[in-house]
Chains A and B, each alone.
Chain A
Amino acid sequence: GAGVSQTPSNKVTEKGKYVELRCDPISGHTALYWYRQSLGQGPEFLIYFQGTGAADDSGLPNDRFFAVRPEGSVSTLKIQRTERGDSAVYLCASSFPRGEQFFGPGTRLTVL
C-alpha cells in the first residue's frame, strides 16, 4: 500500500494479558516511530527506530513495553501484563531521515 498501515485497528483485552500491535511503514522509509495518544492529548513519543535498531527508546513508560523491527521494515510494539492505564490509541509513523513523518491510522487499545 501507499501509506503506513497498522493492525489491528481496534484491540480489546483484559488486564494482565499480552498484546502485540503491528506497523507496516511506507516502503523505503528507514525511520519508524511509535507514539501513544490519550484522549485530549497530543501524540506521546515512545520509541524510534533507524533501520533495525532502536535509536531512542526513552519514551517507553516501563519495561512492560517493548518494540522490535527485526528486518528494518515492519515493527511490532509488544505490551506485557497490560493495565487499564495502557488504554490509548497507538500511532506508528515512518519517514526518511529528518523528513516529515507519515502516520498510520492507529490502533485503539482498550484494556478492561
Chain B
Amino acid sequence: DQQVKQNSPSLSVQEGRISILNCDYTNSMFDYFLWYKKYPAEGPTFLISISSIKDKNEDGRFTVFLNKSAKHLSLHIVPSQPGDSAVYFCAASAKDDMRFGAGTRLTVKP
C-alpha cells in the first residue's frame, strides 16, 4: 500500500521560474519528512527535510512546506536551474521506518 504518493511523474519548467513538487501521505504517524534528489546511475542524495512540528523549512533556493491537516508537503525550487533536472523523491519517516514516493522527474529548460 502506497503510504507516500507523488502523483505527478514529471514536471517541466523554464529556467528561472519556480518548480513546485507535491507529495501526499496517508500515515498520520509520520513525523519527519525528507526530499531526495536522484541523478541517473547514482543513489538518491538528501536535499532538505522538515519535522512535523514545523510547517516550513528553507535552505537557499529550496523550501519545503508541510500541511499536516491535509497530509501534504511540497518542495519549492526558486529560481530553477538546468542543473536541478533530476528525479525528486519525497520520503516520510515514523521512528526509524522510511517510505518513499514514486518520484517526480523535473526538467528545467534553459
Contact = CB atoms under 8 A, between A and B. Distances in A.
Interface in B78-98: 89, 93, 95-98
A50 interface: yes
A88 B15 CA distance: 33
Contact of A56 (B45, B89, B97, B102): B97
Interface string A1-24: 000100000000000000000000
Contact of B100 (A42, A100, A104): A42
B46 A102 contact: yes
Given A101-B46, A105-B43, A55 B96 contact: yes
A48 B34 CA distance: 18
Contact of A45 (B44, B98, B101, B102): B98
Interface string A36-64: 00001111110010100001100000000
Contacts of A106: 42-43
Contacts of A93: 43
A106 B93 CA distance: 21
B49 interface: yes
A58 B97 CA distance: 10
A111 B43 CA distance: 21
Interface residues of A, number: 25
B contact face: mostly helix, strand, loop, or mixed: strand
A41 B102 contact: yes
A64 to B, nearest CB: 22
Nearest to A44: B100
A97 B44 contact: no
Contact of B34 (A40, A41, A100): A100
Nearest to B45: A103
B106 to A, nearest CB: 15
Contacts of A44: 100
B44 A91 contact: yes
Interface of B: 4, 6, 9, 32, 34, 36, 41-46, 49, 89, 93, 95-103
13 contacts: A33-B98, A40-B103, A42-B6, A42-B100, A42-B101, A42-B103, A45-B99, A97-B96, A98-B93, A101-B98, A102-B46, A103-B43, A105-B41
